Amino acid sequence: MKYRELIQDMTLEEKASLMSGKDFWQTQNIDRLGIRSMLLADGPHGIRKQAVGSEQPGLNAGDPATCFPTAATIANSWNKDLAEKMGEYLGKEAVTQNVNVLLGPGINIKRNPLCGRNFEYFSEDPYLAGKLAAGMIKGIQSQGISACVKHFAVNNQEERRMTIDAIVDERTLREIYLTAFEIAVKEGKTKSIMTSYNRLNGTYTNEHLHLMQDILRSEWDFKGVVVTDWGGSNDRIAGLLAGNELEMPTTAGETDREIVQAVKSGKMKEEVLDECVDRLLELIFTTNEVFNKPHFEFNVEKHHRVSQKAAEESIVLLKNEDNILPIRFGRKVAVIGDFAKDARYQGAGSSIVNPTILDHTLNCFEESGIVSIGFEPGFERYGKRDRKKIEKACELAKKADVVLLYIGLDEVTEAEGLDRHSMKIPKNQIDLLNALNEVNPNIVAVLSCGSVVEMPWIDKVKGLVHGYLGGQAGARSILRVLSGDVNPSGKLAETYPIRYEDTPSYHFPGKEVSVEYREGPFIGYRYYDTAELNVLFPFGFGLSYTTFEYSDIQVNHEGVRFKITNTGKIAGMEIAQLYVGCKSKDIFRPKKELKGFSKIFINAGETKTVTIPFDDKTFRYFNIKTNKWEIEEAEYDIMVGASCTDIRLADTLFVEGTGAPLPYDKEELPTYYSANVHNISLEEFETLLGRKAPNPKWDRTKPLGYNDTIEQCQYAKGVSGRLIYFAIIFVHWFLRKIGKRSIANLIMMSFYHMPFRGIARMTGGIVNMPMLDGILMMVNGRFLKGLVHILKERSKMKKSPKTGNIGKRKL
């Protein structure tokens, strides 16, 4: 241990105190030993250091900070260097705000298009997500602070996220859901990781010995700190034994006492606690070093320009019929859509940033060179139908050469804590589009949202520009693409299916207790491509104002080399993608998988040579019999393309294997070998899983306990429990009715799906676990006994001395 002498000088109580937060955002300090607090802050795409003070919980406004593009947006850039540059500037701002640990990036895989937090994640592909995350981590940590990669692991839905049990087979877990984290740890060298709320195959992730010890610590050699998600600690001692050092936020000393008692009783060896303290001290001391040096306020304008550059490279041109784009000089443009007036630029939840500057489309036209003849909102932002707005928009559209129609999803549709109900954009926007198409077919739609949407209306537009959620400079960036000042170079980091029912995980978001990942590794393009299912836009797709030609492929055991020529008339950037497919049919696999990529700038008429090396992930698969990564001896298709379906060059390569036994019996898993995983039977899934899947339904006969949710109060034995449930349902309905949708969402996120233990874990000691026992008595039908118990425990708590960095010096 690095800090052995310091740890020997601590009391047991002091060691325990370091394992939980001092308040909602800070870690504990021990002044007599020179141990300072750390400040943690949300920040996947911008710092959210709450202006009200670090002691306050909730989603309060943060100090002004640059709102960069969200992860879903920057993923479309396919530019590792750009992700690193963005991380560097995030790190600079964190230092100016005295933030030690920046809670991001989020790298969970986009298993399903409806996950409410998809805007905060990179991709459906773990290799792309991992490489971009590693770049961002390097940038953040280059400034002396720590990134905190989240949410480890298999957190792919928001509904019931604090209790849901993700049932995943080991191979799918390793190949799909852990690979991005592996890259973040091994290549990004992240100093901290945040565990997810959910259970994985029956065990909460922060208590999961296989996940936390076998894989994270032993296999990946992670030496850093593991932090719970806020309120995500279930059993504090089980978490420490698994190596989860820091519990956030504070529990006002309650879990400190649990730790002390566990050591004294022999339930946990003090050496285990010492190791956790040692790792935490390393993070505290190394991240606090930067604050010993002078630092200055960041340059707001410069950071805004970096945000703009990131947005520009991430914009995806999806359709350009008749070369309607870029908009030619002198053409009269009608600007329609509420999102043009008030830009949609970020998601909702803990990642909300209070921007330093905010560009809006209507304020940026003069510098774009595009001639606007007027603006009409055209629709009500939150879905209410308004015929008069449509009529006014159509009158304006009649006078224009081109209609710029700004549409998308509103701020409360994509939000932390909630999943979307469909892939559709609001009907009132489609009604407007249909009406506009009748009076002027020259429509360019500008789409603003952070996740996949259905587009049955796409034939009604000639141009489609997808800006995703481009941060505070996103609106100006889109205009620069529309005008031709910027040649679009973004490509989709996720597949756009024709309809939601085509997705392999469309039985989403799982049942009451668990969600079964029956599709195995066949998610996103891995499914559509292998099952030969048509999609609207494939993974890796994106148009340019120029054209590129691929030639002269050369493949050897080190990698692939080829040439790209810009055959158009203007300079541009191309994203070349390397896919690999195994020709053997002995082990079921996707038809092809992304194994490398390169983004390269090429002038008009110029030819450049591109080299994409193979790495340790190019040919591997996880073998459940040997319990390790293996290589199947076979011929492999080596494919280079402009998207996963637009393969321009191909060759084959024979690769020697590791001689591992075949992991599966083909006859037992026929559907997986056919890749037709849309309707996997429970029996076949359990064969893949290697065990029985748990009952996905709640046991309504049992009394409610710590890990049951407020939602389950609808079945409570006590009248008070059912009243709580119906009160929350009514308040949620009423808030939506009066237009307070953000608050209504917060009700669902913070109360409806929260387990009872969350009441104790998230209230900073106002309610402790003994008081929670009283609450459970009340909802389970023993109202008076529970009330007396609460009052008794509350009285005890008021009389007990406050704990914290208390303890006598060891002699």
pLDDT at 53: 46
Q: Which amino acid is at 84?
A: E
Catalytic positions, please? 229
In this structure, how many other beta carbons lie within 10 angstroms of the beta carbon of residue 484?
A: 18
Answer yes or no: is 685 within a domain: no
pLDDT at 802: 54
Alpha carbon distance 704, 715 (integer Å): 9
Q: Rounded to 5 degrees, what are φ and ψ at 611? A: -120, 125
Among 520, 519, 517, 513, which Cα is nearest to 162's?
513
DSSP H or E stretch at residue 101: strand 101-103
Answer yes or no: is 703 within a domain: no
In this structure, how many other beta carbons lie within 10 angstroms of the beta carbon of residue 550?
A: 19
Alpha carbon distance 435, 488 (integer Å): 29
Answer yes or no: is 687 within a domain: no
Same domain, 468 and 379: yes
Same domain, 448 and 355: yes
Total number of residues shown for the chain: 811
Q: The CATH number of the domain where 343 resides is what?
A: 3.40.50.1700
* Distant-in-sequence, close-in-space partners of 44: CB < 8 Å, separation ≥ 6: 70, 71, 103, 104, 105, 106, 120, 351
Can you tell me whether residue 54 is helix, strand or coil?
coil
Task: Give the CA distances from residue 165 to residues 106, 162, 509, 696, in Å, rounded to whole numbers and listed in that order.
Answer: 20, 9, 11, 9
The neighbouring-strand residues paired with 561 are 554, 611
Is the Cα torsion angle 563, 569, 574, 580 positive or negative in sign? negative
User: Environment class of residue 518 by beta-carbon count within 10 Å: exposed (0-12), middle (13-18) or buried (19+)?
Assistant: buried
* Distant-in-sequence, close-in-space partners of 806: CB < 8 Å, separation ≥ 6: 13, 14, 17
Among 78, 74, 76, 53, which Cα is nearest to 63's?
53
Alpha carbon distance 156, 419 (integer Å): 10
Alpha carbon distance 37, 100 (integer Å): 9
Task: Report how many helices (DSSP H) and strands (DSSP E) the chain contains, helices first.
Answer: 25, 26
Summarised one tens digit per residue, pLDDT across range 406-431 is: 999 998 889 888 899 999 999 999 99
Answer yes or no: is 602 within a domain: yes
Is the Cα torsion angle 594, 595, 600, 605 positive or negative in sign? negative
Answer yes or no: is 528 within a domain: no
Same domain, 742 and 658: no
Q: Which two tokens stand for residue 486?
A: 């910027």
Give, as one character, the DSSP assignment of residue 604: T
185-188 contacts at long range (C-beta below 8 A, 24 or more positions apart): 185/149, 185/216, 185/220, 185/222, 186/220, 186/221, 187/130, 187/131, 187/134, 188/133, 188/134, 188/135, 188/136, 188/137, 188/138, 188/147, 188/149
pLDDT at 739: 82
Dihedral, CA of residue 714, residue 715, residue 718 and residue 724, to nearest 10: -10
Q: Which amino acid is at 568?
A: G
Q: Rounded to 5 degrees, what are φ and ψ at 145? A: -105, -175
In this structure, how many other beta carbons lie within 10 angstroms of the beta carbon of residue 203?
A: 17
Among 162, 170, 39, which Cα is nearest to 94's?
39
Can you tell me whether residue 309 is helix, strand or coil?
helix
Q: Which two tokens stand for residue 626?
A: 């040997």
Same domain, 334 and 288: no
Ramachandran area for residue 177 (φ above 0: left; ψ -120 to 50: alpha; else beta): alpha
Of the residues 607, 628, 663, the one at which a domain ends:
663
Same domain, 284 and 327: no
Among 204, 180, 72, which Cα is nearest to 131's?
180
pLDDT at 801: 61
Q: Describe the crossing of helices 783-799 and 769-779 by its angle, rounded to 10 degrees.
A: 170
Alpha carbon distance 387, 469 (integer Å): 28
Q: Which two tokens stand for residue 190?
A: 């992240």
pLDDT at 806: 40
Q: What one-character-per-residue DSSP string does 539-595 give? A: TT--B-SS-EEEEEEEEETTEEEEEEEE-SSS-EEEEEEEEEEE---SS---S-EEE
DSSP H or E stretch at residue 372: strand 371-376
Alpha carbon distance 149, 188 (integer Å): 10
Same domain, 447 and 480: yes
Same domain, 181 and 255: yes
Please, are residues 166 and 152 in contact by the beta-carbon 8 Å criterion?
no
Answer yes or no: is 500 within a domain: no
* CA 144 centroid distance within chain: 24
DSSP H or E stretch at residue 443: strand 443-448
Same domain, 324 and 254: no
Summarised one tens digit per residue, pLDDT across range 308-330 is: 999 999 999 999 999 999 999 88
Q: How many domains does the chain fold into?
A: 4
Residues of the chain with pLDDT under 70: 51-61, 801-811
Alpha carbon distance 474, 392 (integer Å): 27
Ramachandran area for residue 718 (φ above 0: left; ψ -120 to 50: alpha; else beta): beta
Of the residues 634, 663, 692, the one at which a domain ends:
663
Among 175, 235, 240, which Cα is nearest to 199's?
235
* Distant-in-sequence, close-in-space partners of 388: CB < 8 Å, separation ≥ 6: none
Same domain, 187 and 322: no
Q: Which two tokens stand for residue 335?
A: 């600007």
Same domain, 480 and 553: no
Task: Give the CA distances from residue 509 to residues 112, 288, 678, 703, in Å, rounded to whole numbers and listed in that order.
Answer: 9, 41, 15, 25
Answer yes or no: is 431 within a domain: yes
Q: The CATH number of the domain where 212 resides is what?
A: 3.20.20.300
Q: Which two tokens stand for residue 556?
A: 């050897």
DSSP H or E stretch at residue 720: helix 719-737
**For strand 199-200 and strand 165-167, is the pairing parallel, antiparallel, or unpaired?**
parallel
Please, are residues 501 and 383 in contact by the beta-carbon 8 Å criterion?
no
Please, are residues 554 and 562 in contact by the beta-carbon 8 Å criterion?
yes
Answer yes or no: is 42 within a domain: no
pLDDT at 808: 37
Please, are residues 109 and 123 in contact by the beta-carbon 8 Å criterion?
yes
Q: Which domain holds residue 561?
A: 536-663
**Which spans in 456-512 are helix H?**
474-483
Alpha carbon distance 508, 522 (integer Å): 15
Q: Describe the crossing of helices 270-288 and 254-265 by its angle, rounded to 10 degrees.
A: 140
Alpha carbon distance 476, 473 (integer Å): 6
Please, are residues 175 and 619 in contact by the beta-carbon 8 Å criterion?
no
First to last CA, the chain: 20
SS (H, E, C) 646-708: CEEEEEEEEECCCCCCCCCCHHHCHHHHHCCHHHCCHHHHHHHHCCCCCCCCCCCCCCCCCCC
Same domain, 279 and 333: no
Same domain, 269 and 323: no
Alpha carbon distance 184, 290 (integer Å): 23
pLDDT at 805: 42
